[in-house]
Amino acid sequence: MRSTAEWIRSARKARRLSQAALGEQVGASQAQISQWETGKASPDAATLQALERVLGDPGELAPERAVPEGMVQKAGAADGPVVRGKTRRQKSPASTSANIGYEAQLWQMADALRGSMDAAEYKHVCLGLLFLKYISDAFEERHALLVAEQAQGADPEDPDEYRAQSIFWVPPEARWTHLKAQARQPTVGQLVDDAMAGIERDNPALKGVLPKDYARPALDKQRLGQLIDLVSNIRVGDEESRAKDELGRVYEYFLSQFASAEGKKGGEFYTPRCVVKLLVEMLEPYRGRVYDPCCGSSGMFVQSVEFIRAHANGNGNGGKVKADISIYGQESNYTTWRLAKMNLAIRGIDGQIAHGDTFHNDRHPDLKADFILANPPFNISDWGGERLRDDKRWQYGAPPAGNANFAWVQHIVHHLAPAGVAGFVLANGSMSSNQSGEGEIRKSLIESDLVDCMVALPGQLFYSTQIPACLWFLARDRSGVGARHAVPLRDRRGHVLFIDARKLGRMVDRTHRELTDEDITRIATTYHAWRGEKSTPSPLVGEGGGEGEYEDIPGFCKNATLEEVRKHGHVLTPGRYVGAEAQEDDGEPFPDRMQRLVAQLREQQTEATKLDAVIAANLKELGYGG
């Protein structure tokens, strides 16, 4: 069995971390790491746990291995190891997006090359190269096939041969083999920029999307070359990898890590996967028009398509599900819009993603969507509401100029089709605020019978804010007989479902919580049962659902009538309705319990008196006795 020093040294090198980089991740200096690796000192218990989180279990690591077994395919010595995904991923009883595999290994290696570069800047450097590698892999695979078929008339340099297979054409100057060969040259930054420009030139769908600032002097070309070498060893665009969505998983994981590194600003482009998954599982966007008015990096769309693909084998809809959705989105931040376009492109998803201010330049003005999923920025005050006082979207009252929450709500309602449904994230204040007319707008929405369900979320789910959040679910037609469902639903008019999920989830690190698959299943199946559906466990979140009639559960869910909501002043906070969680009766009679508790109190008081005497004696010995 290896010593602690041997483990730290070999595991660090396997992950290509410098001593300084490892020290940053575990809160130690480079000198301390050096002492631990030479056996001159040993980390304390807390630091040892931090090291295990970064380096893995000492008992499971094999020395000098870049990534865990099953993810390495040997190549020539000049090429180094080729990183691949596992052929299948083991699902834990409480799977979360924190339980991934080689994505985390790649992140550690890529992050080690970041140096002092700001995460917001490095994000585009790293994700741009991943995207370029993806389309190059797909191109090269098709190119090799066409070369083999030249005798039958195939032309490997004909762009139409690739476009016919929905593969991007990559011009010679943009092919990864060319970039890899020049990775150690000082001109590598300009070569990458030229490659990006060439791809945009020959593929109009990507025009204005790819980053083209790799030649800037501030970008360390040596580190850029090292990053190209790292990405060169990842297969993400060949047919096998595309089938398993290798790059999609890596891209999403990198997005989440950049969001965490950027803190508050990270929330501008990334909504935690578990929140997106919950929205999608509750709304079930099988077919029709899907819209996100503030789409960030397109996570809602990606998860919607994953939902359809997961159900296409017959789960959830008798095998009749097909990927029959049209995607519409808008994003005001230009760099985030670029991330969104790339995020869809790497998965082969077509979507009309527009760039512009949703309030002042609605790029889909006539759209009536069947599903709307969104995570608008919370409580923004500088949205220009004073210039939109008479906007046609404000059918339930003009939103205050100092807070856009109910501007987002009414924009969403405006774009709902007659049988459309919406699910979106808002700050908790939206459920109870009466400032600047917000209470009257909420009342109008409730009295118009639009509010279907309210979910209170646990704290610490979001990278961008510590403000408690909730989910709103709206429906245009709550009669249950609309054409959207093959089987009629329950007539929900005059009722609202309240779900209090604040106690769910688990901490995945010191500052962030995540809903587990079981949590998502519990919430979604409760909503489906309330709507009158038979709930089938989703392939996306695993087992844990089930069939059955809806029933109120104290402390968790409540089917409230409109009259009850009126009695609460049209406040929509679930905690007001679900009541207290039922306490288990331990069978101990009340007199016996009181006698036991009083005896326990007396023991504690006696112990406290003894401790007070010890403290007083110690103070007196130190010269502070009175």
Q: What is the pLDDT of residues 209-226, one digit of tens each?
A: 898 989 999 888 998 998
Does residue 81 have a pLDDT over 60? no
Q: Give CA–CA dist 461/470, Å, rounded.
A: 11
Model confidence band, residue 53 (pLDDT cutoffs 50, 70, 90) = confident
Does residue 583 have a pLDDT over 80? no
Q: Give CA–CA dist 48/561, Å, rounded.
A: 54
Does residue 71 have a pLDDT over 70? no
What CATH architecture applies to the domain 66-265? Answer: Up-down Bundle (1.20)
Q: Give CA–CA dist 625/263, Å, rounded.
A: 50
Q: Give CA–CA dist 247/80, Å, rounded.
A: 20
Which H, E and C letters describe 527-586, residue by residue? HHHHHCCCCCCCCCCCCCCCCCCCCCECCCEEEEEHHHHHHCCCCCCCHHHHCCCCCCCC
Does residue 102 have a pLDDT over 80? no
pLDDT of 592 reads 86
Q: What is the pLDDT of residues 519-541, one digit of tens each?
A: 999 999 999 999 988 654 443 44
- Between the alpha carbon of residue 123 and those of residues 20, 198, 336, 405, the distances in Å are 21, 21, 11, 29
Report the percentage of the chain scoring pLDDT > 90: 42
pLDDT of 238 reads 65
Model confidence band, residue 60 (pLDDT cutoffs 50, 70, 90) = very low
> Which stretch of DSSP H or E encloses residue 394?
none
Model confidence band, residue 422 (pLDDT cutoffs 50, 70, 90) = very high
pLDDT of 87 reads 31
Domain locations along the chain: 1-65, 66-265, 269-308+317-479+505-515+566-578, 590-626
- Between the alpha carbon of residue 106 and those of residues 164, 214, 247, the distances in Å are 32, 21, 11
Q: What is the average pLDDT score of the chain? A: 80
pLDDT of 104 reads 67
- Taking alpha carbons only, the member of 354, 383, 380 closest to residue 367 is 354
State which of 67-71, 121-125, 381-385, 554-558 shows the largest mean pLDDT.
554-558
Q: Is 6 exposed, middle or buried (0-12, 13-18, 19+ CB in 10 A)?
A: middle
Higher pLDDT, 7 or 431: 431
pLDDT of 51 reads 82
Does residue 412 have a pLDDT over 80? yes
The pTM score is: 0.68
pLDDT of 195 reads 95
Does residue 82 have a pLDDT over 50? no
* Average of per-residue pLDDT across 88-105: 43
Structure tokens at 381: 């005050």
* Average of per-residue pLDDT across 425-449: 95
Find out whether 552 and 485 touch, Cβ atoms under 8 Å: no
Q: Give CA–CA dist 149/384, Å, rounded.
A: 59
State which of 327-336, 344-353, 468-477 shows the largest mean pLDDT.
468-477
Would you tell me how many other CB atoms lie within 10 Å of the CB of residue 384? Answer: 12
Higher pLDDT, 502 or 68: 502
* Average of per-residue pLDDT across 311-319: 40
Higher pLDDT, 518 or 85: 518
- Taking alpha carbons only, the member of 88, 97, 104 closest to residue 516 is 97
Fold of 1-65: 434 Repressor (Amino-terminal Domain) (1.10.260)
Does residue 17 have a pLDDT over 80? no
Q: Which CATH superfamily is domain 269-308+317-479+505-515+566-578 in?
A: Vaccinia Virus protein VP39 (3.40.50.150)
Residue whose entry in the numeric block shows the structure tokens 């969403």: 412
* Average of per-residue pLDDT across 160-180: 90
Q: Lowest-confidence range among 4-18, 549-563, 586-600?
A: 4-18
Does residue 128 have a pLDDT over 90? no
Q: What is the pLDDT of residues 281-304, one digit of tens each?
A: 999 888 889 999 998 877 777 777
Structure tokens at 435: 């400032």
Does residue 278 have a pLDDT over 90? yes
pLDDT of 103 reads 63
Q: Say which DSSP state 590 is in.
A: H
pLDDT of 477 reads 93
pLDDT of 67 reads 33
- Taking alpha carbons only, the member of 582, 556, 453, 550 closest to residue 500 is 556
Q: Give CA–CA dist 39/45, Å, rounded.
A: 16
pLDDT of 270 reads 63
pLDDT of 318 reads 36
Structure tokens at 350: 């077509």
Helix axes 405-414, 438-447, angle to 10 degrees: 30
Find out whether 344 and 393 touch, Cβ atoms under 8 Å: no
- Taking alpha carbons only, the member of 419, 427, 413, 332 closest to residue 375 is 427
β-bridge partners, 422: 372, 474
* Average of per-residue pLDDT across 409-429: 95
pLDDT of 43 reads 84
